[in-house]
Amino acid sequence: MDKPVIGFIGTGVMGKGMIRNLIKGGYSVNIYNRTKEKALDLVDDGARWFDTISSCTQASDVVVTMVGYPKDVKDVYFKDGILNHAKKGSYVIDMTTSSPALAEDIYNDASSRGIHALDAPVSGGDIGAQKGTLSIMIGGEKSAFDKLKPIFEAMGENIVYQGKAGSGQHTKMCNQITIASNMMGVCEALAYAKRAGLNEEQVLKSITSGAAGSWSLSNLAPRMLEGDFKPGFYVKHFIKDMTIALETAKEMGLMTPGLESAKKLYEELAENGEENSGTQVLYKSYL
């Protein structure tokens, strides 16, 4: 199968970058989005608009979904019928960060219809989506992954097959779990520095390059100090991810005190109107 026609459901800030890279990679891309107006610039770029998920699916060999919440994933696959309308032998890939259990449900339902399903959440944010440098973590059948690898390579750089259905989502949960606690550490250190009357920028010079170093410390701590809480990654989406991670951890009998504390702090921030801020707003919890 070379150059299959791709249907892409969900043309948000992430989807847009990914679709443009697919077009750049020579793929024909069919698109659908809940709000049509937000997708029209992609038509100028060469994508083909469809008015329904079912028609978009029927016209495609590979359907990619990049929507918001697990509920949206459920809707587009089951209620709105991707699985009802996908061609036998075709492929569906959910790239939304969503629940591992739901990824398994989709896989099982798809398999029973002769459809190949992969879960393939990403990290790297809107900039990674634009530049095609995403990290993509894939679960599902290895043979399906092998066939679709060129598609992933058109959208990302660090493409890793993680195992059976749900493993991509589980891996993304590992990513978010790591970030959750680290964000507390970064914020607690900066808040401590402030209370102690230190010059926080000088403190960062001492601690960023050593054993305390992290992506968040290098990239988000400076924004915290500047009072720049614009979203790179939204609080509301991080809460969604942490909720899935925490529920899944509990189901597996795993205690995660760091994740639990971080989730609580973020939920308090969301209650205080910060759900559309970037995750670096956690700093405010400590001020």
Region label for 166, one of left (φ > 0), alpha (ψ between -120 and 50) or beta (otherwise): left
Give 268's DSSP letter.
Answer: H
Q: Does 171 bind a second copy (CB under 8 A)?
A: yes
Strand partners, 93: 64, 118
Judged by CB under 8 A, the residue of 170, 240, 263, 284 near a second copy is 170
In the shown chain, the binding pattern of residues 232 to 271 toward a second copy, with x for contact by CB under 8 A and - for none, equals -x-----------x--xx--xxxxxxxx-xx--x------
Using CB under 8 A, pick the residue from 37, 143, 211, 273 that binds a second copy.
211
User: Measured from the CB atom, is 200 or 275 closer to a second copy?
Assistant: 200
Closest distance between a second copy and the C-beta of residue 283, in Å? 13
Q: Using CA atoms, how far apart are residues 264 and 287, in angstroms rounded to an integer?
A: 16
Is residue 6 within 8 Å of residue 27, measured between CB atoms? yes
Q: Per CB under 8 A, does 131 bind a second copy? A: no
Contact of 172 with 124, CB cutoff 8 Å: no
70 versus 166: smaller Cβ distance to a second copy? 166
Q: What is the 8-class DSSP label of residue 68?
A: S
**Interacting residues with a second copy between 73 and 112 (CB under 8 A):** 100
Angle at 214 between CA 220 and CA 278, to 5 degrees: 25
Q: Which helix (H) or strand (E) holds 139?
A: strand 134-140
Q: Find out whether 277 and 231 touch, Cβ atoms under 8 Å.
A: yes
How many Å apart are CA 234 and CA 277, to the nearest integer? 6
Binding status of residue 206 toward a second copy by CB under 8 A: yes
* Per CB under 8 A, 137 contacts a second copy: yes
Q: Is residue 172 flagged as an active site residue?
A: yes
Name which of residues 4 to 63 contact a second copy (CB under 8 A).
none
**Catalytic one among 172, 240, 263, 284?**
172
Distance CA 173, CA 133 (A): 20
Q: Which two tokens stand for residue 83?
A: 């699985």
Is there binding between residue 284 and a second copy (CB under 8 A)? no
Contact with a second copy (CB under 8 A) among 98, 162, 277, 280: 162
Q: Which is nearer to a second copy, 82 or 180 (CB)?
A: 180
Cβ neighbours for 280, distance < 8 A, ≥ 6 positions apart: 183, 216, 220, 221, 223, 224, 228, 229, 232
Question: CB-wise, 58 or 181, nearer to a second copy?
Answer: 181
Q: Which is nearer to a second copy, 3 or 195 (CB)?
A: 195
Give yes or no for a contact between 82 and 56, defined as CB atoms under 8 angstroms apart: no
Give least dist CB 159 to a second copy, A. 9
Nearer of residues 117 and 221 to a second copy, judged by Cβ: 221
Where in the sequence numbering do the catalytic residues fall?
172
User: Which residues here bind a second copy, judged by CB under 8 A?
Assistant: 100, 123-125, 135, 137, 158, 160-163, 166-167, 170-171, 173-182, 184-186, 188-193, 195-199, 202-203, 205-207, 209-217, 219, 233, 245, 248-249, 252-259, 261-262, 265, 286
